Structure 1
Amino acid sequence: MTTYTPISHLMSQGRPDVYPVCSRLDATISWLDFSTRVKALAYGLQLRAENRWLVSSPDAIEFSVQVLALWHAGKQVVIPPNMQAGTLKDLASEYDAIVSNDMATLACDSFVFTPLISQATFIDLYTSGSTGRPKRIRKTLAQFESEIDILEALWGNKLGDCAIVATVPHHHIYGFIFRVLWPLSAGRVMDNVLCTDPEMLKNRLSAFKNAAIVSSPALLSRLPELAPLVSIISGTCTIFSSGGPLSKVAALAFDQQLGYSPIEVYGSTETGGIAWRKQLIDEAWTPFAGVKLANIEGTATLASPFLADALPKVIDDAIELLSDGCFHLLGRIDRIVKIEEKRLSLPDMESLLLKHSWIKAAAAVALASRKQSVGVAIELTKEGQSILAQHGRRHVIQLLKVYLAQYFDKVLLPRYWRFVKQLPMSAQGKLTSAAVHALFSPEDNHHAVT
């Protein structure tokens, strides 16, 4: 039986010594082991003068120990978006030291956990900035606790004592909440292994009687093509997906083979969670409790208990707001481009391509050449791959252009096409404009399909 405790009171309130916290390949970490580690490290860090500490452990349980120890030592937590040398160099002025388990002090009997003050417990996360430099997003523990409270109210009973198995990293906000903070707060076992491929996911799920999966569209959309889902995913009560919309083809495959489809979560580092959906039941997104959206002259604004203040925040996506407060996502505002003075919504083009039976995934970009034009990168379905093999690239492109011509002016039709085995997703399951642009070289100017 799980017992829900806010993170701010978790260490001071505690759990039974033998309570399982985390599963590793070779062992289960108990509450006694976990809390002893947090206590020893918090005591050691309390003796240090540095205040801003970078947390970079690739190990989910060590990462959790370090974050809680820093908070209980009264320190500021800094989590980088990645551990690339260039990123750490850019962030050098943002932290004073890098936390290490070697800083733990075993002679820590005098250290006593006291409840954290949620509003005064901080963490710095980073996201892509408009200048190319990581943009700092400062959050309080209170913001995280508000979100976790709502997640538990929505899905806590459904999850029960499920273990949490993940295919997403723990140092981005989705993984940090769904893989670390929420399981710790709810008393669910977190699996320490990051499942990077279907076989690993299958093996880790088999280690638990019941499990929930925290994943992304990047992996979930490919699972149905690799093997029957029941052979990979067994004993699973719930699947969460975030990082972008899941394709309807993938949602249908899960529903047909497992009897249910993933729960999709929409949000960002800046906003926290915004809404959720099960698209086969309703394609519209349902805002989380307390979250309200408005659409004023095409600008979407958000009021949320997960924000730092009560001021409405403009979000980067265009929405169609429904009378019941739910909404449809129309794509990012900054992806409306002009081609020969005609406006084109790249998300609209992608959405229409995804409705074609040959297309599994699509990404459109505006390419700056002598005359600005559109390039599309496409993953084909098995049907599309068969047509490509039988009739060739030019035949497929021409028929897809005929299809798009039903909806777009001729000057807006893509001139450059890439058929790829897999779109270039990041580790977080996100597809960036830069990654798609990289598929198109300047030489493509001489190889346009017209």
Structure 2
Amino acid sequence: MSALFDAVCTADPAVVLFSSKNGPITAGRIRRTAMDVAAKLPAGKPVYLHTVSAALFVCGLLAAATRRATVFCPAHVQPEYLREIGAADGVVLTDENVAGALPLELATETGRFDIIPGDIDLNFFTSGTTSAPKLVPKRIAQLDLEGQKLHRLWSSRAGHVYATVSHQHIYGMLFRIFWPVISKRVSEDRPVETWEMLSGKLTPETTLVSSPAHLTRIPDGFDTGAPSLIFSSGAPLPLDAAYHAREKFGSLPIEVLGSTETGGIAWRQQERSDTLWTPFEDVGIEADADGGLVVVSTVAGDAPVVTGDLVEKVDAQFRLKGRGDRIAKIDGNRVSLPRVEEALVALPLIDAAAVVDLPQRKGALGAIIELNADGKAALKEFGAFRLSRKLREMLVGRMEPRERPKHWLFAPIPLDRQGKRVQAVLRAKFVLHGDIELGILSAASVDGDSAELSLELNPEMVWFKGHFPDEPILPGIAQTHMAVIWAECLWGFRPFGANLTQVKFRRVMRPGSQVILRLTRDLDRQRLSFSYEFDGIITSEGKIGGWS
């Protein structure tokens, strides 16, 4: 029997496995719930299991195992996504409000569990290098091995588990369910959504399971406490964030590198920027001819797995050197850029799309869109900002929030001389010199020699510093400079000379303002016209350069 199932099925009914705001969740209640659910599952159908509650996930898993049903773990339960992964052919088992699903509710009574569950298939969906969600099959026994590995490494220091991450992905599943249950420790039933919800709860008897998305956003004044262990996974943690976490919690986070395909690969505590990664036991690592990380482990089935990470080997350890594929890490989760592009092109207004991740924007996605005739009419009617919001709404049924681009440019997609898209060039269309100079672009359109950009005037922009200390405003010279740089970014165009004509500054613009910048280039005269609009009123305008 699986180590996880053995721990649940043989424990005294009163043993607490999970903790919730409604009280403890015991092994007996989980067994009883699993028995009730198993009786409702139709024979021969796969189970698509997705829950917010970790305890109910165990209930669903145990119920499926008694029926020897194959289990799939959807990344989310958006209707179009469920159709895409074939959930219509099975049973959706969830504690969320999903039409046609079999609801999961925790039993109030305890119960025995007389059926021995089998080592069933457990299938994950990840973002592969293609546009389609990638199916990664696992056996429960493989996850047991992972949990036992973590037990041997860290259980002597581990305590009650609090987490900011979901258990639907393999990292959260291992650290919130398999390891604690196997180790006979209590885990919180639901993830913590905000740092404030953890205030006063983290003590030396607790373990925090988190991610870079949360550890880089610890609010000032938060009563952090001092958990015995802090884990982070999903992406390498920035060094300053690691140091900040040590300052807040008293110890460096343990970063875990892994993937659904390979399981845990390696770990480190980042004392320096060049801290190496140490492979887990029974994990072999190599670098292929292109510097790509190749992993061999018993958990992965002993077959070599190419991860997409670039590495440099240093004896038995290694150094990460970025990604070699088109998978972006956003808030610690993998997002397939080809998949997002495919979803965009499927929309009725779009001919072509190029998507990039923007590290300067915490990894948020930017999309360069070529519109069809209907799309161009919609752009003319709504403007770039409103059209971008409408397109985001059209993606809701298929994609999670992190997969939907936040920054939009409606313009021809730039290509190199070989007709290929270059990621660095695409990123430059959104950020040329950084938000501290140009503002944060949310949407833009380019139509021949005219462009319209929706910008947020980031309070950290250099132009606000010292001008004026108590009442910062955006100086006129900064406005003209921004116009010139954006013209260079969008068209590769710079006006001839620096003389200013017909310039009018009517209203001040302050930090945080959402403004519209309109640009028009005159190639014959080598002149750039600009205007800024705020709250529907032209705040400034003028012409830059040009032949006399």
Kindly provide the CA deviation profile for residues 379-425 of structure 1, in whole angstroms up to 9, marking residues without a partner as x: 88xxx937453177998xx9xxxxxxxxxxxx99xx9xxxx99xxxx
> For 1:335 and 1:131, how far apart are their aligned partners in 2?
9
Residues 1:149 and 2:148 aligned together: yes
Look up the match of 2:24. 28
TM-score normalized by the length of structure 2 = 0.59
Look up the match of 2:323. 332
Cα 1:143–1:158, aligned 2, differ >3 Å: closer, same or farther? same
Look up the match of 1:369. 413
Q: State which of 71, 75, 78 in structure 1 corresponds to 2:69.
A: 75
Shift of 1:35: 2.2
User: Is this contact kept in 1: 2:29–2:111, CA < 8 A?
Assistant: no
Q: SS of 2:320's equivalent?
A: strand
Look up the match of 1:197. 194
Q: State which of 226, 249, 260 in structure 1 corresponds to 2:251.
A: 260
User: Is this contact kept in 2: 1:364–1:374, CA < 8 A?
Assistant: no
How is 1:176-215 mapped onto 2 (pairs within 5 angstroms)?
A: 176-202=173-199, 205=201, 210-215=205-210
How is 1:275-424 mapped onto 2 (pairs within 5 angstroms)?
A: 275-280=266-271, 283-298=275-290, 299-307=292-300, 309-323=301-315, 325-334=316-325, 369-370=413-414, 372-375=425-428, 385=460, 387=462, 389-390=464-465
Shift of 1:38: 2.3
Residues 1:41 and 2:37 aligned together: yes
Cα 1:50–1:258, aligned 2, differ >3 Å: closer, same or farther? same
Q: State which of 215, 226, 235 in structure 2 corresponds to 1:244.
A: 235
> For 2:298 and 2:190, how far apart are their aligned partners in 1?
32
Question: What is the one-letter code of the residue matched to 1:192?
Answer: D
Kindly provide the CA deviation profile for residues 276-317 of structure 1, in whole angstroms up to 9, marking residues without a partner as x: 11011671111110111111322331111111x322121201
Look up the match of 1:15. 11
Look up the match of 1:170. 167
Question: What is the one-letter code of the residue matched to 2:413?
Answer: S
User: Is this contact kept in 2: 1:252–1:261, CA < 8 A?
Assistant: yes
Shift of 1:56: 2.0
Q: Percent identity?
A: 27
Cα 1:300–1:107, aligned 2, differ >3 Å: closer, same or farther? closer
Cα 1:174–1:369, aligned 2, differ >3 Å: closer, same or farther? same
Q: SS of 1:123's equivalent?
A: strand
Shift of 1:260: 0.8
Question: What is the one-letter code of the residue matched to 2:50?
Answer: S
> For 1:379 and 1:273, how far apart are their aligned partners in 2?
36
Kindly provide the CA deviation profile for residues 1-41 of structure 1, in whole angstroms up to 9, marking residues without a partner as x: xxxx92142244x1123211111112111222222222333
| Structure holding more helix per residue | 1
Kindly provide the CA deviation profile for residues 325-364 of structure 1, in whole angstroms up to 9, marking residues without a partner as x: 111111111269xxxxxxxxx99x96xxxxxxxx895789
User: Is this contact kept in 2: 1:263–1:278, CA < 8 A?
Assistant: yes
> For 2:520 and 2:78, how far apart are their aligned partners in 1?
33
Look up the match of 2:114. 112
TM-score normalized by the length of structure 1 = 0.71
Cα 1:90–1:189, aligned 2, differ >3 Å: closer, same or farther? same
Cα 1:116–1:365, aligned 2, differ >3 Å: closer, same or farther? same
Whose Rg is larger? Answer: 2
Kindly provide the CA deviation profile for residues 151-172 of structure 1, in whole angstroms up to 9, marking residues without a partner as x: 111111110xx11111111211
Residues 1:123 and 2:122 aligned together: yes
Shift of 1:92: 2.5
Look up the match of 1:272. 263
Cα 1:289–1:95, aligned 2, differ >3 Å: closer, same or farther? farther
> For 2:87 and 2:363, how far apart are their aligned partners in 1?
39
Q: SS of 1:62's equivalent?
A: helix
> For 1:328 and 1:55, how far apart are their aligned partners in 2?
36
Cα 1:108–1:363, aligned 2, differ >3 Å: closer, same or farther? closer
> For 1:240 and 1:331, how far apart are their aligned partners in 2?
21
Shift of 1:81: 1.2
User: Is this contact kept in 2: 1:54–1:97, CA < 8 A?
Assistant: yes
Kindly provide the CA deviation profile for residues 403-450 of structure 1, in whole angstroms up to 9, marking residues without a partner as x: xxxxxxxx99xx9xxxx99xxxxxxxxxxxxxxxxxxxxx99989xxx
> For 1:111 and 1:174, how far apart are their aligned partners in 2?
28
Cα 1:379–1:61, aligned 2, differ >3 Å: closer, same or farther? farther
| Structure holding more strand per residue | 2
Question: What is the one-letter code of the residue matched to 1:288?
Answer: F
Cα 1:444–1:41, aligned 2, differ >3 Å: closer, same or farther? farther
- Indicate the structure whose relative CO is greater, using CA pairs within 8 Å and at least 6 residues apart: 1
Q: SS of 1:181's equivalent?
A: helix
Shift of 1:365: 8.0
Gaps of 5+ in 1: 337-345, 351-358, 399-410, 422-442
User: Is this contact kept in 2: 1:44–1:103, CA < 8 A?
Assistant: no
Cα 1:360–1:136, aligned 2, differ >3 Å: closer, same or farther? closer
Q: SS of 1:40's equivalent?
A: helix
Shift of 1:264: 0.7
Question: What is the one-letter code of the residue matched to 1:153?
Answer: R
User: Is this contact kept in 1: 2:33–2:107, CA < 8 A?
Assistant: no
> For 2:56 and 2:519, how far apart are their aligned partners in 1?
47
